[in-house]
Chains A and B, each alone.
Chain A
Amino acid sequence: MTDLRYPIGKFSFEGSNSEDERVRLIDQIAAAPARLREAIDGLSPEQLDTPYRPEGWTVRQLVHHVPDSHLNSYARFKLALTEDEPTIKDYREDRWAELADARSGPVETSLALLDSLHKRWVTMLRSMSPNQFERSFRHPELGLVSLDRNLSLYAWHGKHHVAHITSLRERMGW
């Protein structure tokens, strides 16, 4: 039985990206807001409030989680570019997803937020030199994380959550 939590597999990273890979990853980040919008297109309020797997977040919580997660990532990129190996503050994504706006807010709000956040983020990413992708921040549990790794992680992360929704739609025949 496939693991419903990892419809596109777990994240893996080789250690660095070639310049071509970086361009491709940044393009994936640029496309992520449109992919998320397509993934929920036409869903009813009841469908949005359905867990994507037993015990999992609802589709609505997934949609709100993506900008919450990516705004933390955006800030980590900026911290690593403007400070020397800064220690970042991690957050409890499970608890953030239980706050009222993330449980029951309109999905359009988070789609608009994600759209604009990714435009700022991609503008910055496309301006970065190869050396800047070697800069790092320090995560309290993961240790030093290079921006190259973080770029790959968030290109994966957007697709990962979109696939939660599209695979639910497929299973449910929506």
Chain B
Amino acid sequence: MTEDLRFPIGKFSFDGNVTEAQRASFIEEMAETPAWLRESVEGLSPEQIATPYRPGGWTVGQVVHHLPDSHLNGYTRFRLALTEDEPAIKPYHEDLWAELEDGRNAPLDVSIQMLGGLHDRFVLLLKSLSPQDFARQYRHPDQGLVPLDRLVAAHAWHGKHHIAQITSLRKRMGWV
């Protein structure tokens, strides 16, 4: 049950093969994510924004602020892999970042705008690359070598994943 609330669209899966058509659709989803996020929180009151999306989970506000923090790290990893040879990246503690003041209490608009700016830059970059570029990799200390194709698929999933946590909370609570 708790699993269901955590993974409203299912867990991320990746089989290693990405066609050009799939890649283009992941990039389109990334381009749309900031607008979907904005819609998902439209009209929520401060009390609703301070409500955990599941028992013991992040508040709606923390979920929103987490997205640009996470995708900023993804943006950085992507650029590192394009400009260095299999660079070792630095992971971060998303749970601890989400407890910092701005991760708890910044206005939602600020983080939606930040995600928009990041994704605009990211999408422009993605559209400029050749298929071979997406085979470049970075080294994650726990996951090992990660190809950029996987990172793009993960970002497209990750945005929808957190947005669905918010929209499924709204549905359960009757916050339409």
The answer to whether A and B come from one shared complex is: yes
Task: Please list the residues of chain A having a beta carbon within 8 angstroms of any beta carbon in chain B.
Answer: 64, 67-68, 71-72, 74-75, 78-79, 81-83, 86-89, 91-92, 95-96, 99-102, 105, 109-110, 112-117, 119-121, 123-124, 126-127
- Interface residue from A78, A91, A116 paired with B114 (Cβ < 8 Å): A116
B18 is an interface residue with CB less than 8 A from chain A: no
Q: CB-CB < 8 A to A114: which residues of B?
A: 117
Q: Which of A81, A92, A117 contacts B84 (CB 8 A)?
A: A92
What residues of A have a CB within 8 angstroms of the CB of B100 in the complex?
78, 81-82, 124, 127
The reply to whether A82 and B97 contact each other, CB–CB distance below 8 Å, is yes
Determine if B117 and A67 form an interchain contact, defined as CB atoms under 8 angstroms apart: yes
A-B contact count (CB 8 A): 115
A interface, by DSSP: helix, strand, loop or mixed?
A: helix
Cβ B120 vs Cβ A109 within 8 A: yes
Q: A82-B96, A113-B121 are in contact. Are A96 and B79 (CB under 8 A)?
A: yes
Residues of B within 8 A of A124 (CB): 100-102
Residue in B76, B117, B124 whose beta carbon sits within 8 Å of that of A100 in the complex? B124
- Number of B interface residues, CB 8 Å? 40
| Closest partner residue, chain B, to A71 (CB atom) | B72
Contacts of A101 in B (CB 8 A): 121-122, 124-125, 128
Residues of B at under 8 Å CB distance from A? Answer: 65, 68-69, 72-73, 75-76, 79-80, 82-84, 87-90, 92-93, 96-97, 100-102, 105-107, 110-111, 113-114, 116-118, 120-122, 124-125, 128-129
Shortest beta-carbon distance, B63 to chain A, in Å?
15
Q: Output the least CB separation between B136 and chain A (Å).
A: 12
In angstroms, Cα B83 to Cα A150, docked, is 24
